[in-house]
Amino acid sequence: MTDVRRECEDVLRESPRPPSGDASDVERRDFLSVAAAVGMGGGLVAGYGTFGVIAARFLDAPGQPMGWQYLTTVDELKPGDSLTYAAPNGAKVVIARQGAGTSAEDFVALSSVCPHLGCAVHWEPQNDRFFCPCHNGVFDRQGMATEGPPAKAKQRLLEFPLKVENGLLYIQVPLVALANAECVDDTGTLVKQAANGATLPPQQGDMA
C-alpha cells in the first residue's frame, strides 16, 4: 500500500461529513456539478435550488468552480460561539453564530486573515466584533473595519455565503479541479491535500 493511499484512508475515516440523509445527497449533487463544470472549462456552478443563501459582499472568485461544504450542525454551534475552517483553496475562514435563530442569517462566515498585514482575526462575542491583535484592528459583526489601520484604509473582511438545510450548516467556497484530487470520500468530496500540492477540504482537526 502506498503512503498516499494509506494517508487517504486515514483521512477518510476522520474527515467531517454531514449525517446521512437528504443533505448529503444535495452536497453530492453540488460536487458532481462542480466536477462537470471543471471538465467543460472551469465555469462557475450555478443553480442551487431555493435554499436561503445570503448573497452580498461575498468572495469574488471569477472562473473558479464553487461548491457547498458541510461545516457543522446548527445546534452544535451555540450563539456567540465560533469555529475556524480551511477552504479547499487554502483560505482561512472564521464562522460565528451571532443570533439565536436557526437560519443562515444567524451566522456569518468571514476571512480570518486581516487585510492589513495578514494576522489572524478572531470573533469576540462579548464585544460583538472581530478583532485583530497585531495592530488593534476592529471589524464589526459583518466584517467592516471600524478601528485601527484597517479602518483608515477602509478595508473589510471577505465574506463567504452560508446556507442551512435540515439543521446542517454549509459554506460556499472555491473548489479545486477534480483532476488534482488524491483523496475522495464516498460522497465524492475531496478531503486532503494531494501529493501534487492541490489543496482539499480540511480534516477533523482543522475545525475548532
Q: Provide the residue ranges of all domains of the chain, joining segments of one domain with +.
A: 3-69+161-206
Per-residue pLDDT tens digits for 17-53? 566 555 444 444 444 444 433 333 333 333 333 233 3
The grid cell for 122 is 478572531
Residue-level pLDDT at 120: 96
Residue-level pLDDT at 75: 96
37: exposed, middle or buried (C-beta count within 10 Å: 0-12, 13-18, 19+)? buried
**pTM of the complete model:** 0.59
The grid cell for 39 is 471538465
Residue-level pLDDT at 24: 45
Question: Which of 35-49, 64-78, 86-100 has the weakest average pLDDT?
Answer: 35-49
Rg of the Cα atoms in the chain: 17
At 128, the pLDDT band (50, 70, 90 cuts) reads very high
Give me the torsion for CA of 46, 49, 52, 57, rounded to 10°.
10
The C-alpha angle 187, 25, 69, rounded to 5 degrees, equals 65
